[in-house]
Amino acid sequence: MKTKIAVFVSGGGTNLQALIDFQNAGGLKDGEIVLVVSSSPTAYALERAAKAGIASVTVSKKECGSQAEFEERIVSALDQAGVEMIVLAGFMSILSENFTKRYENRIINVHPSLIPSFCGKGMYGLKVHEAALSYGVKVTGATVHFVNEIPDGGKIIMQRAVEILDGDTPEVLQKRVMEQAEWDILPKAAQAVAKALREEKN
């Protein structure tokens, strides 16, 4: 049995698309995306899931009275779908230690820098690329890591370096990091973790 995967999203879902494309090309040999969880009802990622025939659920933090209720609703959806592994792909809500402990070594995230640079609380999206450019580093990249209670604090699974070019804006750099690093290493790391979990079961 393949490892059942849920992908958590909040926006456009480009990393979700990379995972779907990788799955369709036969790369996700040991895993299967069975559910997309969105924190926003208007996330374009939901359209991508629908087009790929993947079930989705929206759990909005605003509609939940507390972090605990927000996470309970997510856990309930995951349990119903039999999810064993979670991929955070641009998910903009922080998950509590209760949640991350429940899925220890089963949640992975992609971060748009070479951790430990430009990471941690408040470092997401364009802010990461702005920080890299203002610091003047010549190389950046992306990191896939396990998720624990510390933002960007879990064990590193895979990294890919990306060169910074003269005249880069945060937007241009963001696109290059996605194309050259994130969209490649996130699916590969997902397969590696799914394989390890599948072997554990057998």
Q: Which two tokens stand for residue 188?
A: 């590969």
Q: Where are the domains of the chain?
A: 3-201
Looking from the CA of 115 toward its CB, the CA atoms found within 13 Å total 24
**For the segment 157-196, what is each residue's pLDDT rounded down to a tens digit?**
999 999 999 999 999 999 999 999 999 999 999 999 999 9
Q: How far apart are alpha carbons 141 and 44 in whole angstroms?
A: 25
Q: What pLDDT is attached to residue 201? A: 86
The answer to whether residue 94 scores a pLDDT higher than 90 is: no
Whether the pTM exceeds 0.85: the reply is: yes
Q: What pLDDT is attached to residue 135? A: 97
Q: How far apart are alpha carbons 45 and 163 in whole angstroms?
A: 28
**For the segment 119-163, what is each residue's pLDDT rounded down to a tens digit?**
998 899 999 999 999 999 999 999 999 999 998 999 999 999 999
Q: What pLDDT is attached to residue 155? A: 97
Catalytic residue among 4, 73, 106, 111: 111
* Residue 111 known to be catalytic: yes
Contact call for residues 191 and 30 (beta carbons, < 8 A):
yes
Lowest mean per-residue pLDDT among 30-39, 40-49, 61-70, 160-169: 61-70
- Span 3-201 CATH architecture: 3-Layer(aba) Sandwich (3.40)
